[in-house]
Amino acid sequence: MTYENSLEFALKMDEQDELAGYRNKFHIPVIDGKETIYFTGNSLGLQPKSTIDYINTELQDWAKRGVEGHFNAKNPWFAYHEMFAKPIAKIVGAQPKEVVVMNNLTVNLNLLLVTFYRPTKSRYKILCEAKAFPSDQYALEMQVKNVGLNPNDAIIEIAPREGEKTIHNKDIIAAIEEAGDSLACVMIGGVNYFTGQVFDMKAITEAAHKVGANCGFDLAHGVGNIELKLHDWKVDFACWCSYKYLNSGPGGVAGVFINERHCNNTELPRFAGWWGQEKETRFLMKKGFKPMKSAEAWQMSNAPILSMAAHKAAIDIFDEVGMDKLLKKQKKLSGYLEFVVDDINSSLTDSDKSLEIITPRNWKERGCQVSVIAHGYGKDLFDKLTSEGVISDWREPNVIRMAPVPLYNSFEDIYRFGEILKKALN
């Protein structure tokens, strides 16, 4: 694909974009009467215009029917989560029975570790990436302490090589092999939240299984962003949130994947509640937990319907578009952002200043996100971008993270961002 850093080119790309119409299905934040350039769909996705109607439907059913809504609502609440099985399975590459929508991300990560991190005296280590998202670090630290182990001994962290920003898949696999039969579990962010690097989940899973360890991924930055084939890759477990690329609203209900072979094993240890109980006996209120033979068996509580309704509005859009079209546009969009940043970088004349893209350039190793180090610049650069209507993410000391997303960002957004960036750099 040959790009040009010109308005004419960007407008031509938008004209040819089969998804261009979807932008109008979202509320684009406005500041001072002007639409912002919103590049933080990796942090909080925008609100679909349809969300309010989905939530209103449930509010009205609750008003009209009260408790009867569990069985008589337009979308009966007792089974509301079942509507997600097929569309979410398509997004993450799973069988419908392998996924369920429930709770929030870190809660789910902890619940999954209860099942999939089962340390023994000799096999007790858990492997993750260095500088994982803090919530994941805390979860792993306390899971390890909870079983009486020392995090410094039990947690293996894989870091980039000296002087590099991203991690070699080879190094992860080598560390797994080295840990060998001391390794109980691998739990990595499938897409690194900081660099946007996508890991080779298939190869990592294979390596983990070879040494007899379980393998799971936190897909907070992967779901709705990159191609996932969790079932085919034989991943044991995965979890994600719904408010980033999935646009389901702040703190929205999250989701998990549990491989079929584990779903069928009713003996697996887990935390439990009535919503994981076999349907036939769920409401008999009898003693004895009999888990369903699906990811639903890890559900504990009845569903937060208002949050589920917002999720449904967003997932219906994903289902209508399909991941194939999203991925096709995503590659062009992130490629265009990369091109524009490179183009502006090459025009910088002060040798102390430069823009370095730390996200892998190979599209197989990245999704929407492009992370840039602004060498020689400080937070005032970011403040200038913000004051000109660019909503992006700043990480100290000088990293800008941007994620143009295929559902509502345009090539024009990227061109206009480039013009604002040029001005802010000078």
- Contacting positions for ligand PLP (CB under 6 A): 104-106, 133, 135-136, 189, 193, 218, 220-221, 241
Q: Closest approach of Cβ 242 to ligand PLP, in Å?
A: 9
Q: Which is nearer to ligand PLP, 221 or 270 (CB)?
A: 221
Q: Closest approach of Cβ 232 to ligand PLP, in Å?
A: 23
Q: Which is nearer to ligand PLP, 19 or 109 (CB)?
A: 109
Q: Closest approach of Cβ 104 to ligand PLP, in Å?
A: 5
Determine the Cα–Cα distance for residues 131 and 118; give it in Å rounded to an integer. 23
Q: Which is nearer to ligand PLP, 106 or 115 (CB)?
A: 106
Q: Which is nearer to ligand PLP, 10 or 88 (CB)?
A: 88
Q: DSSP readout, 125-164? A: EEEEETT--HHHHHHHHHHHHHTT--HHHHEEEE---TT-
Which of 333, 418, 407 shows the shortest CA–CA distance to 368? 333
> What SS3 class is residue 225?
coil
Count Cβ atoms below 10 Å from residue 119 Cβ, excluding itself: 18
Q: Closest approach of Cβ 122 to ligand PLP, in Å?
A: 29
Determine the Cα–Cα distance for residues 129 and 262; give it in Å rounded to an integer. 25
Q: Closest approach of Cβ 44 to ligand PLP, in Å?
A: 10
Which of 263, 266, 265, 283 shows the shortest CA–CA distance to 274? 283
Q: Closest approach of Cβ 105 to ligand PLP, in Å?
A: 4
Asked whether the beta carbons of 116 and 236 are under 8 A apart, the reply is yes
Taking every pair of Cα atoms in the chain, the longest distance, rounded to a whole number of angstroms, is 75
Q: Which is nearer to ligand PLP, 106 or 409 (CB)?
A: 106
Q: Which is nearer to ligand PLP, 135 or 182 (CB)?
A: 135
Q: Residue 252 is encoded by which pair of tokens?
A: 């929205």
